[in-house]
Amino acid sequence: MGKRRYQAIMGMPVGAVGVLCAGGQLVRIDYLPHQPDVSTDDPTAIAVVEQLRGWLEDPFFRFDLPLALAGTAFQQRVWQAIVAVPCGSTRTYGDLAQALHSAPRAVGQACGANPYPIVVPCHRIVARSRTFNGGIGGFSNATDGYLLDIKRWLLAREAEASSMSARVRRRA
Protein backbone atom coordinates (compact mmCIF):
# COMPACT_ATOMS: atom_id res chain seq x y z
CA MET A 1 0.00 0.00 0.00
CA GLY A 2 1.37 3.43 -0.92
CA LYS A 3 1.54 6.48 1.29
CA ARG A 4 -1.91 7.83 2.11
CA ARG A 5 -2.79 11.43 1.45
CA TYR A 6 -4.43 12.73 4.59
CA GLN A 7 -6.73 15.74 4.60
CA ALA A 8 -5.33 16.59 8.04
CA ILE A 9 -2.62 15.44 10.43
CA MET A 10 -2.98 16.30 14.08
CA GLY A 11 -0.30 15.96 16.73
CA MET A 12 -1.13 14.09 19.90
CA PRO A 13 0.83 13.76 23.14
CA VAL A 14 1.97 10.38 21.80
CA GLY A 15 2.50 10.47 18.03
CA ALA A 16 0.03 11.94 15.59
CA VAL A 17 -3.12 10.95 13.72
CA GLY A 18 -3.81 11.19 10.01
CA VAL A 19 -7.40 11.94 9.00
CA LEU A 20 -8.67 10.63 5.68
CA CYS A 21 -12.08 11.77 4.44
CA ALA A 22 -14.06 11.36 1.23
CA GLY A 23 -17.54 12.33 0.15
CA GLY A 24 -18.28 14.18 3.39
CA GLN A 25 -17.49 11.14 5.54
CA LEU A 26 -14.61 10.02 7.73
CA VAL A 27 -12.92 7.14 5.91
CA ARG A 28 -10.20 6.43 8.46
CA ILE A 29 -7.93 7.68 11.19
CA ASP A 30 -4.39 6.33 11.24
CA TYR A 31 -1.89 6.53 14.08
CA LEU A 32 1.38 8.01 12.88
CA PRO A 33 4.76 8.71 14.42
CA HIS A 34 5.29 12.29 15.61
CA GLN A 35 5.14 14.76 12.73
CA PRO A 36 4.03 18.32 12.04
CA ASP A 37 0.34 19.16 11.90
CA VAL A 38 -1.23 19.51 8.47
CA SER A 39 -4.29 21.75 8.29
CA THR A 40 -7.10 21.43 5.82
CA ASP A 41 -10.00 23.22 4.20
CA ASP A 42 -12.04 20.01 3.96
CA PRO A 43 -15.11 20.59 6.18
CA THR A 44 -15.35 16.95 7.25
CA ALA A 45 -11.68 16.76 8.19
CA ILE A 46 -12.02 20.05 10.09
CA ALA A 47 -14.93 18.56 12.07
CA VAL A 48 -12.92 15.40 12.78
CA VAL A 49 -9.94 17.41 14.06
CA GLU A 50 -12.22 19.64 16.18
CA GLN A 51 -13.86 16.58 17.74
CA LEU A 52 -10.50 14.89 18.33
CA ARG A 53 -9.36 18.06 20.11
CA GLY A 54 -12.56 17.96 22.15
CA TRP A 55 -11.74 14.38 23.08
CA LEU A 56 -8.18 15.38 24.05
CA GLU A 57 -9.65 17.94 26.44
CA ASP A 58 -12.27 15.53 27.79
CA PRO A 59 -11.90 11.74 27.40
CA PHE A 60 -15.66 11.42 27.99
CA PHE A 61 -16.34 13.43 24.81
CA ARG A 62 -18.97 11.84 22.55
CA PHE A 63 -18.13 11.81 18.87
CA ASP A 64 -20.74 12.70 16.28
CA LEU A 65 -19.09 12.15 12.92
CA PRO A 66 -20.31 10.84 9.57
CA LEU A 67 -18.48 7.52 9.20
CA ALA A 68 -18.00 5.90 5.81
CA LEU A 69 -19.48 2.42 5.83
CA ALA A 70 -16.61 -0.01 6.28
CA GLY A 71 -15.93 -3.56 7.31
CA THR A 72 -17.84 -6.78 7.26
CA ALA A 73 -21.10 -7.29 9.14
CA PHE A 74 -19.13 -9.07 11.88
CA GLN A 75 -16.57 -6.26 12.15
CA GLN A 76 -19.38 -3.74 12.44
CA ARG A 77 -20.94 -5.78 15.27
CA VAL A 78 -17.59 -5.81 17.08
CA TRP A 79 -17.15 -2.06 16.58
CA GLN A 80 -20.65 -1.39 17.94
CA ALA A 81 -19.80 -3.49 21.00
CA ILE A 82 -16.56 -1.55 21.46
CA VAL A 83 -18.36 1.80 21.41
CA ALA A 84 -20.50 0.53 24.31
CA VAL A 85 -17.43 0.03 26.56
CA PRO A 86 -17.37 3.06 28.89
CA CYS A 87 -14.43 5.43 29.04
CA GLY A 88 -11.95 4.23 31.66
CA SER A 89 -13.14 0.63 31.40
CA THR A 90 -11.72 -2.28 29.49
CA ARG A 91 -13.06 -5.57 28.20
CA THR A 92 -11.07 -8.56 27.05
CA TYR A 93 -11.15 -9.96 23.56
CA GLY A 94 -12.72 -13.03 25.17
CA ASP A 95 -15.45 -10.98 26.89
CA LEU A 96 -16.48 -9.45 23.57
CA ALA A 97 -16.20 -12.79 21.79
CA GLN A 98 -18.50 -14.42 24.33
CA ALA A 99 -21.04 -11.60 24.04
CA LEU A 100 -20.95 -11.83 20.24
CA HIS A 101 -20.88 -15.66 20.13
CA SER A 102 -17.53 -15.59 18.40
CA ALA A 103 -13.85 -16.27 19.09
CA PRO A 104 -11.32 -13.93 20.74
CA ARG A 105 -9.01 -14.07 17.72
CA ALA A 106 -11.84 -12.95 15.42
CA VAL A 107 -12.59 -10.04 17.77
CA GLY A 108 -8.89 -9.15 17.78
CA GLN A 109 -8.82 -9.16 13.99
CA ALA A 110 -11.88 -6.89 13.89
CA CYS A 111 -10.19 -4.55 16.37
CA GLY A 112 -7.11 -4.46 14.15
CA ALA A 113 -9.28 -3.60 11.14
CA ASN A 114 -11.02 -0.70 12.91
CA PRO A 115 -10.66 2.32 10.61
CA TYR A 116 -11.85 4.80 13.27
CA PRO A 117 -9.59 4.44 16.33
CA ILE A 118 -10.45 6.80 19.18
CA VAL A 119 -13.94 7.27 17.69
CA VAL A 120 -14.42 3.50 17.99
CA PRO A 121 -12.14 3.06 21.03
CA CYS A 122 -10.60 -0.34 20.28
CA HIS A 123 -7.81 0.48 22.76
CA ARG A 124 -10.31 -0.48 25.49
CA ILE A 125 -10.14 -4.12 24.37
CA VAL A 126 -7.28 -5.94 26.07
CA ALA A 127 -5.82 -9.42 26.47
CA ARG A 128 -6.98 -11.69 29.24
CA SER A 129 -3.44 -12.96 29.78
CA ARG A 130 -1.11 -10.56 31.60
CA THR A 131 1.80 -12.19 29.77
CA PHE A 132 0.81 -10.80 26.35
CA ASN A 133 2.27 -7.28 26.26
CA GLY A 134 1.53 -6.79 29.94
CA GLY A 135 -2.11 -7.66 29.39
CA ILE A 136 -2.91 -4.98 26.84
CA GLY A 137 -2.77 -7.27 23.82
CA GLY A 138 -2.06 -5.88 20.38
CA PHE A 139 -3.09 -2.63 18.81
CA SER A 140 -3.82 -1.64 15.22
CA ASN A 141 -2.39 -4.97 14.05
CA ALA A 142 0.87 -4.38 15.96
CA THR A 143 2.28 -6.30 18.89
CA ASP A 144 5.17 -3.95 19.62
CA GLY A 145 6.52 -0.49 18.81
CA TYR A 146 5.02 2.96 19.02
CA LEU A 147 1.44 1.71 18.47
CA LEU A 148 1.54 -0.14 21.80
CA ASP A 149 2.94 3.00 23.43
CA ILE A 150 -0.11 4.84 22.09
CA LYS A 151 -2.46 2.16 23.48
CA ARG A 152 -0.76 2.35 26.90
CA TRP A 153 -1.13 6.14 26.86
CA LEU A 154 -4.80 5.97 25.83
CA LEU A 155 -5.62 3.45 28.58
CA ALA A 156 -3.71 5.40 31.25
CA ARG A 157 -5.31 8.69 30.21
CA GLU A 158 -8.83 7.28 30.37
CA ALA A 159 -8.17 5.50 33.68
CA GLU A 160 -6.91 8.74 35.17
CA ALA A 161 -9.90 10.71 33.85
CA SER A 162 -12.31 8.09 35.24
CA SER A 163 -10.58 8.16 38.61
CA MET A 164 -10.77 11.96 38.74
CA SER A 165 -14.44 11.86 37.71
CA ALA A 166 -15.19 9.34 40.47
CA ARG A 167 -13.48 11.56 43.07
CA VAL A 168 -15.54 14.57 41.93
CA ARG A 169 -18.77 12.54 42.12
CA ARG A 170 -17.92 11.38 45.65
CA ARG A 171 -17.38 14.97 46.79
CA ALA A 172 -20.67 16.16 45.31
Domain annotation for the chain: domains and CATH numbers? 8-57 (no CATH), 73-171 (1.10.10.10)
| CA angle, residues 4, 7, 10, in degrees to nearest 5 | 95
> What's the pTM?
0.86
Rounded-to-integer distance, Cα 17 and Cα 34, Å = 9
Q: Is 122 a catalytic residue?
A: yes
Low-confidence ranges of the chain (pLDDT < 70): 1-3, 129-144, 165-172
Residues 21, 87, 111, 122: which is the catalytic one? 122
- Closest among 164, 103, 150 to 122, alpha carbons compared: 150
pLDDT recorded at residue 2: 46
The pLDDT, as a whole number, for residue 149 is 86
**pLDDT for residue 127:** 83
Task: Specify the pLDDT at position 144.
Answer: 65
Task: Supply the pLDDT for residue 120.
Answer: 97
Question: What integer pLDDT is reported at residue 1 of this predicted model?
Answer: 42
